[in-house]
């Protein structure tokens, strides 16, 4: 499981909503195909309202999260060029560059049932 949290600047909220509308609408097939090709089993994106502003919370699940992320970051077709440009514009993070966010898992509860 991989998690990403990024701030949605106040002046970018409408753009973020347009992006998710595109991923749910006109670009849904490209989006879903890319996630399948990369090896993701699930990806969920939330908009979280906080006292310090809106945040995007992205949760991804894959057999091998690192392999799926590496695969996704290596895709250079027109859809991914567009997608990574959107992410950089919205969050200021180049997800294909060397300074991508790194996670450290500190707690992981799983039911035995």
What pLDDT does 43 receive?
94
d(CA 81, CA 96): 10
User: pTM of this prediction?
Assistant: 0.84
What pLDDT does 26 receive?
97
What pLDDT does 70 receive?
87
What pLDDT does 85 receive?
94
Instruction: Report yes or no: 60 and 40 within 8 Å, Cβ to Cβ.
Output: yes
Tell me which residues of the chain have a pLDDT lower than 70: 99
**Domains, the chain, with CATH or none:** 2-91 (3.30.70)
């Amino acid at each position: 499981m991989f998690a990403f949290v990024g701030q949605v600047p106040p002046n970018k909220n409408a753009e973020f909503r347009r992006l998710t509308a595109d991923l749910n609408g006109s670009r849904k097939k490209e989006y879903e195909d890319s996630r399948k090709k990369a090896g993701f089993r699930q990806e969920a994106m939330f908009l979280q309202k906080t006292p310090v502003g809106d945040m995007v919370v992205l949760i991804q699940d894959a057999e091998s999260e690192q392999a799926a992320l590496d695969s996704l970051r290596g895709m250079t077709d027109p859809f991914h060029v567009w997608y990574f440009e959107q992410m950089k514009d919205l969050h200021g993070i180049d997800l294909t560059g060397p300074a991508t966010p790194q996670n450290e898992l500190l707690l992981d509860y799983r039911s035995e049932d």
